[in-house]
Amino acid sequence: MNFTAFYTIVRKEVTRFLRIWSQTLLPPVITQSLYFIIFGTFIGSQISDIQGVSYMAFIIPGLVMMGVINSAFMNVVSSFYSTKFMKNYEEFMVSPASNQAIIFGYVIGGMLRGLLVGLLIFAVSIFFEQPEIANFGIILLFIILTSFVFALGGLINGIFAKNWDDISIFPTFVLTPLIYLGGVFYSIKDLPEVWQTVSKFNPILYMVDGFRYGFYGISDVPVLYSFGLLAGLTILLFGINIYLMRKGIGLKN
Amino acid sequence: MTKKAIEIIGLKKTYKGGTQALKKVDLIIEEGDFFALLGANGAGKTTIIGILTGIVLKTEGHVKIFDIDIEKDHNEAKKLVGVVPQEFNFNIFEKVQDIVIQQAGYFGISRKEAKKKLEPILKILDLWEKRDTQAMKLSGGMKRRLMIARALIHGPKLLILDEPTAGVDVELRHSMWNYLRKINQEGTTILLTTHYIEEAEALCKNVAIIKSGKIIKCAPVRELTQSLDSQSYTIEISGLNGNLELKEFEYSLIDSETLEVVVKKHQSINELIKALDTLNITVNDLTPKENKLERLFLNLVTESKN
């Protein structure tokens, strides 16, 4: 892999999302703060503890993860599609930058935005609830792998996108429902059995659940399953990206 | 023996939907050449460039850049090539220097090193003062020069320019020509596609004419222009009284002060001027009606149509 090319893309991506911070960093922090106020404080005060954790504390990991997923995905899809729209993807297509350098460059750029947004949301959550950390390693592992997976997903979406509508279809109609139904606001153990089973087909449940386990040591599904799923998705999506780049799908004529 | 900068053998390209853009193209461009690829819109010029630079996938054939087969190691070949595309393709929100330094980064050149290379290139292209300006705020000519700076930052041995002076004013076009001549003299091989035939005639040593995906002629510019059997001139005259009779020349009188004359290969302009002088007609100005290459291009394109 060409590390200078990789570093160039990461730097370009980070500069981009920091330059337009009011569009990339601020909105998720404001939205999640409203969730903390409405669901955590106003409504949460009337909801009993879940598995020994207050409702406000319960939703914090899910809301952090929601911000991370959306930001990592959207950063890559919108940035990569813009390069296609302005045709400046040709800058790296005509260069000897390897496919790996391009993929890692965009994905790490997206990951960094996701992680920064997650950190900001977590910082805001401290105003509402004292943080508890059961296993910092698991927290780190889940947030890094999740942001990586969704950044890879964003790149696939960006590669296939042919117009601006195409970059919002997946986030709006697939990602958002999966996040909301992925155990951010509730434990699936409180659902009827049939919905528990249905929920287990939602990959985001495992990411949120594993991440929450790192904070409070509670989980709805075994953490090892969650880790296995994330690792599998990472390999699968990376493989798809490499295949698409090699074939030049969506990029070369 | 001169090395081949580009070697294209049996190159074919069929786009999705069936459009056959290239029909078995063979082309060799030698190192150090200043080569023009002439053709009308849709002739296949940009497809050839796309294949050379990795934007377009070939359907069939072999392409080598400085003896490196692009199928085997396109990345190694790309290191030797700089490309100036037809359309602006940089991020308009980024600053001039960021665009050029990033391009260096894609070629594996560190930021520190790229910054050192940046100044002389931007200065010679008259963009140094604009280095902190967003690309969207540049004039059309500056944008063209920015793309040239971006293509040159990694010091390519082969520079490919796709219609580099389209929409550029005359003064700027000439300053760009001078710069291109200079880097060619310094050893950079240049492949140029253009609509402006005078551009090819002024700059290039060799030329290929492409029509409907086929090379219909490939030869030195001088040889091609010498092969023309006639040249038309527009002549500004004064002193014409009554009818004009120039027996040995084909001509037409546009008005009492303008004459168009065809000078055949065996005739000379001196003979023409002498003939006019005998009739007491003064020649005030004499200009070729069209440049030689343009005539040749039109002849070849028409011939191949027939």
Question: Residue B67: which residues within 8 A CB-CB, separation 6 or more?
Answer: B3, B4, B7
Q: By a Cβ cutoff of 8 Å, what residues of chain A touch chain B? A: 2, 4-5, 7-9, 11-12, 15, 82-83, 86-88, 90-98, 248, 252-253
Identify all chain A residues contacting B76, using CB atoms and an 8 Å cutoff.
96
Confidence at residue A233, expressed as pLDDT on a 0 to 100 scale: 96
Q: Check: CATH 3.30.70 for B229-305?
A: yes
Identify all chain A residues contacting B90, using CB atoms and an 8 Å cutoff.
86, 88, 91
B269/chain A closest Cα distance in angstroms? 49
Q: What is the DSSP letter of B265?
A: T
Confidence at residue B164, expressed as pLDDT on a 0 to 100 scale: 81
In which band, very low, low, confident or very high, does the pLDDT at A192 lie, cut at 50, 70 and 90?
A: confident
Give the strand order in the sheet containing B282-288.
B250-255, B258-264, B230-238, B282-288
- The answer to whether the CB atoms of B107 and A96 lie below 8 A apart is yes
Q: What is the DSSP letter of B134?
A: B
Identify all chain A residues contacting B85, using CB atoms and an 8 Å cutoff.
87, 90
Question: Residue B36: which residues within 8 A CB-CB, separation 6 or more?
Answer: B192, B193, B194, B199, B200, B203, B204, B206, B207, B208, B221
The stretch B180-204 carries a mean pLDDT of 86
Amino acid in position A68? V
Confidence at residue B160, expressed as pLDDT on a 0 to 100 scale: 94
- Mean pLDDT for chain B? 86
Given CB atoms, is B89 within the 8 Å cutoff of chain A?
yes
Span A121-133, pLDDT tens digits: 999 999 998 888 9
Confidence at residue A1, expressed as pLDDT on a 0 to 100 scale: 67
Distances (CA, A) of A157 to A111, A182, A241, A251, B251: 16, 21, 10, 13, 66
Q: Which run of H or of E encompasses A97?
A: none
For the cut 90, the answer to whether the pLDDT of residue A12 exceeds it is yes
State the Cα–Cα distance between residues A84 and A245, nearest whole angstrom.
Answer: 14
Confidence at residue B154, expressed as pLDDT on a 0 to 100 scale: 93
Residue of B nearest to A97 (CA): B106
Confidence at residue A108, expressed as pLDDT on a 0 to 100 scale: 97
A242/chain B closest Cα distance in angstroms? 16
- Six-digit token string for B137: 């705020």
**Pairing outcome for strands B230-238 and B258-264:** antiparallel
Distances (CA, A) of A68 to A9, A56, A238, B148: 20, 19, 19, 40
How far the first Cα of chain A sits from its last, in Å, is 24
Question: Residue A251: which residues within 8 A CB-CB, separation 6 or more?
Answer: A84, A89, A93, A159, A245
- Six-digit token string for B124: 């010679």
For chain B, give the number of residues.
306
In which band, very low, low, confident or very high, does the pLDDT at B304 lie, cut at 50, 70 and 90?
A: low
CB B193 within 8 A of CB B36: yes
Residue of B nearest to A91 (CA): B103
Span A221-248, pLDDT tens digits: 999 999 999 999 999 999 999 999 988 8
Q: Which of A7, A11, A86 sits opposite B92 (nearest CB)?
A: A86
Given CB atoms, is B66 within the 8 Å cutoff of chain A?
no
A164/chain B closest Cα distance in angstroms? 17
State the Cα–Cα distance between residues B75 and A94, nearest whole angstrom.
Answer: 9
> How many CB pairs lie under 8 A apart between chains A and B?
73
Identify all chain B residues contacting A5, using CB atoms and an 8 Å cutoff.
105-108
Question: Which of B156, B145, B148 has the alpha carbon at shortest distance from B107?
Answer: B156
- The answer to whether the CB atoms of B91 and A88 lie below 8 A apart is yes
Question: Which of A100, A184, A173 has the alpha carbon at shortest distance from A146?
Answer: A184
Q: In percent, how much of chain B has pLDDT > 70?
A: 92
Residue B207 pairs with which residues in a beta bridge? B36, B219
The stretch B61-81 carries a mean pLDDT of 90
Identify all chain A residues contacting B109, using CB atoms and an 8 Å cutoff.
4
Residue linked to tokens 């990694």:
B154
Given CB atoms, is B81 within the 8 Å cutoff of chain A?
yes
Higher pLDDT, A209 or B291: A209
- The answer to whether the CB atoms of A253 and B76 lie below 8 A apart is no
For the cut 60, the answer to whether the pLDDT of residue B94 exceeds it is yes
Residue of A nearest to B73 (CA): A96
Span B195-254, pLDDT tens digits: 677 778 888 889 898 888 898 888 888 777 776 667 778 888 888 877 778 878 888 888
- The answer to whether the CB atoms of B89 and A5 lie below 8 A apart is no
Q: In percent, how much of chain B has pLDDT > 90?
A: 41
Question: Which of A113, A102, A106 has the alpha carbon at shortest distance from A18?
Answer: A113
CA angle A74, A245, A163 (to 5 degrees): 45
Span B147-181, pLDDT tens digits: 999 999 999 999 999 888 776 777 777 888 888 99
- The answer to whether the CB atoms of B90 and A86 lie below 8 A apart is yes
Confidence at residue B62, expressed as pLDDT on a 0 to 100 scale: 93
Residue of A nearest to B21 (CA): A253
- Six-digit token string for B121: 């290139």
- The answer to whether the CB atoms of B55 and A97 lie below 8 A apart is no
Q: Which run of H or of E encompasses B160?
A: strand B158-162
Q: Where are the domains of chain B?
A: 4-225, 229-305
Span A30-69, pLDDT tens digits: 999 999 898 878 887 888 888 888 999 999 999 999 999 9
Question: Residue B197: which residues within 8 A CB-CB, separation 6 or more?
Answer: B38, B291, B293, B294, B297
- Mean pLDDT for chain A? 92
- Six-digit token string for A179: 């996040």
Identify all chain A residues contacting B107, using CB atoms and an 8 Å cutoff.
5, 95-97
CB A101 within 8 A of CB A2: yes
CB B139 within 8 A of CB B146: no
Distances (CA, A) of B196 to B40, B166, B199, B290, B297: 10, 8, 5, 12, 11
- The answer to whether the CB atoms of A5 and B92 lie below 8 A apart is no
Confidence at residue B291, expressed as pLDDT on a 0 to 100 scale: 60
B102/chain A closest Cα distance in angstroms? 6
- The answer to whether the CB atoms of B55 and A82 lie below 8 A apart is no
Higher pLDDT, B296 or B221: B221
Confidence at residue A244, expressed as pLDDT on a 0 to 100 scale: 94
- Six-digit token string for A32: 């999640």
Span B125-137, pLDDT tens digits: 889 999 999 999 9
Amino acid in position A193? E
CA dihedral (A52, A57, A59, A60) positive or negative:
negative
- The answer to whether the CB atoms of B108 and A83 lie below 8 A apart is no
- The answer to whether the CB atoms of B105 and A94 lie below 8 A apart is no
Q: Which of B54, B57, B106 sits opposite A8 (nearest CB)?
A: B106
How far the first Cα of chain B sits from its last, in Å, is 39
Q: In percent, how much of chain A has pLDDT > 70?
A: 100
For the cut 60, the answer to whether the pLDDT of residue A119 exceeds it is yes
CB B261 within 8 A of CB B161: no
- The answer to whether the CB atoms of A98 and B75 lie below 8 A apart is yes
CB A2 within 8 A of CB A98: yes
Q: What Rg value do the Cα atoms of chain B yield, rounded? A: 23
The stretch B253-280 carries a mean pLDDT of 83
Higher pLDDT, B273 or B305: B273
- Six-digit token string for B42: 């849709």
In which band, very low, low, confident or very high, does the pLDDT at A105 lie, cut at 50, 70 and 90?
A: very high
Q: Which of A87, A92, A252 sits opposite B106 (nearest CB)?
A: A92
| CA-based max dimension of chain A | 60
In which band, very low, low, confident or very high, does the pLDDT at B32 lie, cut at 50, 70 and 90?
A: very high
Q: Which of B78, B87, B105 sits opposite A94 (nearest CB)?
A: B78
State the Cα–Cα distance between residues A231 and A206, nearest whole angstrom.
Answer: 12
The stretch B257-265 carries a mean pLDDT of 83
- Six-digit token string for B35: 């080569």
B43/chain A closest Cα distance in angstroms? 17
Q: What share of chain B is helix, strand, coil (3-state, %, to 5)?
A: 40, 30, 30
Confidence at residue A149, expressed as pLDDT on a 0 to 100 scale: 96
The domain B4-225 is placed in CATH, from the list 3.20.20.70, 3.40.50.1370, 3.90.580.10, 3.40.50.300, at: 3.40.50.300
For the cut 80, the answer to whether the pLDDT of residue B123 exceeds it is yes
